[in-house]
């Protein structure tokens, strides 16, 4: 007796997984090279991936669907948090932002998310759910732990604290004067956000 596969395979040549991956990779490559969603063309993707347009249209019905899937492919491996001190955990989170901003692919994807949200709401929604929300939750958890433990101000507005940390870090990734961010940037940001800019009496 022959074991039936879990899903009966239809007759005919099976779809190539390799082609599928090549398509997604080509899409991310082109986006990572600074191409906006509207400049991105199916023909360019097919050419870059070395596949025919048919192979793309057989899987995705239009460009937006493809981009949505391609962005969803980007993994979001949050850094391991030591949990020893809130300061260390915040540094870990912010340093992950710094490292990601060094990769052109992540960089451009973030650009797209920030700028084309109005034009592609479905894309944005899915990207936020996949990439933004987990990071927000992690940071929120760390801050709340800090409040509970006394490492942070008990009256702290958590959302405002998150805005300070994320906003400052994002500001640097945007306006860094060409090239890499200082390796100790995350540490300096966290220390300054915690201490404030006013003199400590």
By the criterion CB under 7 A, which residues form the site for DNA? Answer: 8-16, 19-20, 40-44, 50-55, 57-58, 62-63
- Residue 83 site contact among DNA, a second copy, none (CB < 5 to 8 Å, cut-off depends on kind): none
- Residue 43 site contact among DNA, a second copy, none (CB < 5 to 8 Å, cut-off depends on kind): DNA
Number of residues that bind a second copy (CB under 8 A): 44
Shortest separation between residue 22's beta carbon and DNA, angstroms: 7
Shortest separation between residue 7's beta carbon and a second copy, angstroms: 41
Q: Which position among 15, 119, 122, 129 is part of the footprint of a second copy (CB under 8 A)?
A: 119
**Is 150 among the residues that bind a second copy (CB under 8 A)?**
yes
Q: Which position among 103, 171, 180, 183 is part of the footprint of a second copy (CB under 8 A)?
A: 171
Q: Which position among 2, 8, 11, 198 is part of the footprint of a second copy (CB under 8 A)?
A: 198
Q: What is the DSSP string of the chain?
A: -PPPPSSPPPSSPPPPHHHHHHHHHHHHHHHHTT--TTT--HHHHHHHHT--HHHHHTT-SSHHHHHHHHHHHS---PPPP--S-HHHHHHHHHHHHHHHHHSHHHHHHHHHHHHSTTT-HHHHHHHIIIIIHHHHHHHHHHHHHHHHHTSS-TT--HHHHHHHHHHHHHHHHHH-SSSPPPTTHHHHHHHHHHH-SSPP-
Q: Which residues here bind a second copy, judged by CB under 8 A?
A: 34, 36, 38-39, 108, 111-112, 114-116, 118-119, 143, 150-154, 156-157, 160-161, 163-164, 166-172, 174-175, 188-189, 192-200
């Amino acid at each position: 007796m022959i074991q039936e596969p879990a899903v009966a395979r239809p007759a005919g040549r099976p779809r190539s997984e390799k082609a599928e991956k090549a398509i997604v990779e080509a899409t991310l490559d082109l986006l990572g090279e600074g191409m906006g969603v509207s400049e991105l063309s199916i023909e360019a993707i097919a050419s870059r991936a070395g596949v025919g347009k048919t192979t793309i249209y057989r899987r995705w019905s239009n460009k937006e669907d493809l981009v949505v899937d391609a962005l969803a492919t980007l993994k979001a491996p949050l850094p391991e948090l030591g949990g020893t001190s809130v300061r260390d955990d915040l540094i870990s989170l912010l340093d992950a932002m710094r490292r990601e901003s060094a990769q052109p692919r992540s960089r451009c994807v973030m650009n797209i998310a920030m700028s084309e949200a109005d034009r592609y709401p479905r894309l944005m929604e899915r990207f936020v759910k996949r990439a933004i929300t987990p990071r927000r939750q992690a940071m929120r958890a760390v801050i709340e732990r800090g409040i509970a433990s006394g490492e942070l101000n008990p009256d702290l507005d958590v959302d405002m604290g998150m805005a300070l940390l994320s906003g400052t870090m994002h500001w640097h990734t945007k306006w860094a004067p060409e090239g890499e961010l200082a390796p100790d940037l995350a540490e300096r940001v966290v220390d300054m956000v915690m201490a404030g800019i006013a003199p400590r009496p």
